[in-house]
Structure 1
Amino acid sequence: MELLTAEIKTCLLENGRKNAELVANGVDTFDFPPVVKLFTPDAGFTWLLSEIDPENSDIAFGLCDLGIGCPEVGYVSLSEIACLRGKSGLPVERDCYFKSDKTLSAYADEAHRLGHIRA
């Protein structure tokens, strides 16, 4: 299974372009809902991604949870995520059933309270 379909990648890039334009104009960025949820089925890692950097399509922005109790918002390398394997050697997967119901910051606030992403 491919991690990002063409449709998902297009949406992530559009969000990245919109926020890059806002930053260039000195305006606060938009708090997009996550577009995709990635996870390791055997390691407890989860990513909710809302944007891809339009200048470097390997860099995504989102909420990252590496299973150690302190999820954080930041930038991640998509190629590094694609190379990750869990304890049993299983690759990262995309949650095909994920539907965002709030903004990235709302997921982040909840994750900080809980110590993990709930999505």
Structure 2
Amino acid sequence: MILITNPLRARLLAHGAAGADIDHFPVVKLFDPTGAATSLLSELEADGDTLFGLCDLGFGFPELGSVSLAELASVKGPLGLGIERDLHFQISVHAEAARILRPRHRAERLLRQAADALSKPHSELPPDTAEQQRR
């Protein structure tokens, strides 16, 4: 199977050339048909081999990072099957998951929550009734 078709390659290269400050939606989903590894890829560097996206090796800990297209193409699973492209991939659900998992967005959300909590004059926790009974 061709992992990256010419139209997909063109979109991935365009995203890669646009810069790192933009959150690009995934263009292609690659997966291991004999395992749980999945990659949602959004960018391709000018070298034509280095892809960037959300990658999960199947352990439930997805990470943003780079992966080699040549390495993915060389993978052979226990049944001799290689990595495949999801022909029915729709970016709507997967793109939202990738956007949410970007560390920058998560850090900003956590900082906003902490700032909101610290700006409140009184704690919203109920009083410690056990402590009051001991007095």
Is the pair's TM-score, using the shorter chain for normalization, greater than 0.5? yes
**Which structure 2 segments of 5+ residues have no match?**
103-135
How is 1:35-50 mapped onto 2 (pairs within 5 angstroms)?
35-50=27-42
Match of 2:3?
A: 3
Larger radius of gyration: 2
Distance 1:51 1:87 in 2: 29
1:3 is aligned with what amino acid?
Answer: L
| Contact 1:63/1:71 (<8 A) preserved | yes
Structure 1 residue matching 2:51: 3-state secondary structure: strand
Tell me which stretches of 4 or more aligned residues in structure 1 moved more than 3 Å. Answer: none
Aligned pair count?
Answer: 99
Structure 1 SS opposite 2:91: coil
Q: Tell me which amino acid in the other structure corresponds to 2:68.
A: S
CA RMSD of aligned residues (A): 1.4
Q: Distance in 2 between matches of 1:49 and 1:57?
A: 13
TM-score after normalising by structure 1: 0.77
Instruction: Report the 3-state secondary structure (helix = DSSP H, G, I; strand = E; otherwise coil) of the residue aligned with 2:9.
Output: helix
TM-score (norm 2): 0.69
1:76 pairs, out of 53, 67, 87, with 67
Q: How does 1:26-65 map to 2 (within 5 A)?
A: 29-54=21-46, 56-65=47-56
Give the match's secondary structure for 1:82.
helix
Structure 1 alignment gaps of length 5 or more: 24-28, 110-119
For residue 79 of structure 1, give the secondary structure of its aligned residue in structure 2: helix
Indicate whether 1:66 and 2:57 are aligned: yes
Higher relative contact order (CA closer than 8 Å, sequence separation 6+): 1
Instruction: Give % identity.
Output: 43
More helix by share: 2
